[in-house]
Amino acid sequence: MSSNGFAPSVAICQHSGFGHTAVLADAVRRGAESGGARVTVIAVNHITESDWDCLDKADAIIFGSATYMGNVSAAFQAFTEQTGRRCMNGAWRDKIAAGFANSGAKSGDKLSALMSMAVFAAQHHMHWVNLGLPPGWNSASGSEHDLNRLGFWLGAGTQTDVDANPDQVHPADVATCQHLGHRVAAVTRQLVAGRAVALTNSAVPSPVGGSAPAR
């Protein structure tokens, strides 16, 4: 992992069936970049050896998928199944992880998809970052333009009409995904900086000839 606490490397692994999730992945990218991260977006259905190398070196990986039949897409699931050796070898251990999911229905069982991503991250011994937002659009004064308008906590849950063009993704969902990217960049920067300090402290020799500790 990078020791540069000011520019963590973030990879966004996503699968988009009709372009909606790709638009949201781009919003996550912008948010992470605004948080000072170096970001790579990877389409998991076209993953290359260079992409795998990027994932192995990243400080954080944000997962994103369209939701099908109450779970991640088949292409995203196929991607997770290709990581078995990395899981056994601990290649992604202690990286930061987060996720976002999009569906046509307002609920669309996106929570199941986000839980699938979180369990996948846990199997790799990664550290999951939640959305970090209160629910929006849940009072008389709220509106569909609130951040987290659909009220998710585990990750960003978004909704796009099935007959909408990619440029019709809801602006509040775009903003919510930007928030997620920025949050992941901030948490990752803190973690990398903390590791650098801990490594420095561990390299400092213990005092010699000091008083014995009190008992």
Work out the burial of residue 86: count CB atoms within 10 Å of its CB; fewer than 13 is exposed, 13-18 middle, 19 or more buried. middle
Q: In this predicted structure, what is the pLDDT of residue 191? A: 94
Q: Token digits for 163?
A: 């007959």
Residue recorded with tokens 């901030």 = 186
**55 backbone φψ class: left, alpha, beta (φ>0; ψ -120 to 50):** alpha
**Strand 60-68, strand 96-103: pairing:** parallel
Q: In this predicted structure, what is the pLDDT of residue 208? A: 59
Q: Quick one: which of 145, 177, 208 has its CA closest to 39?
A: 177
Q: In this predicted structure, what is the pLDDT of residue 213? A: 52
pTM, 2 dp: 0.91
- What is the distance of C-alpha 117 from the center of its chain? 9
Q: In this predicted structure, what is the pLDDT of residue 179? A: 98
Q: In this predicted structure, what is the pLDDT of residue 79? A: 98
The full 3-state SS of the chain, as one line of letters, equals: CCCCCCCCEEEEEEECCCCHHHHHHHHHHHHHHHCCCEEEEEEHHHCCHHHHHHHHHCCEEEEEEEEECCEECHHHHHHHHCCHHHHHHCCCCCCEEEEEEEECCCCCCHHHHHHHHHHHHHHCCCEECCCCCCCCCCCCCCCCCCCCCCCCCCCEEEECCCCCCHHHCCHHHHHHHHHHHHHHHHHHHHHHHHHHHHHHHHHCCCCCCCCCCCC
Q: In this predicted structure, what is the pLDDT of residue 214? A: 52
Local mean pLDDT, 10-residue blocks, the chain (215 residues) = 67 97 98 97 97 98 96 98 97 98 95 98 98 97 97 97 96 98 97 88 67 51
For domain 9-203, is the CATH number 3.40.50.360?
A: yes
Q: In this predicted structure, what is the pLDDT of residue 199? A: 83
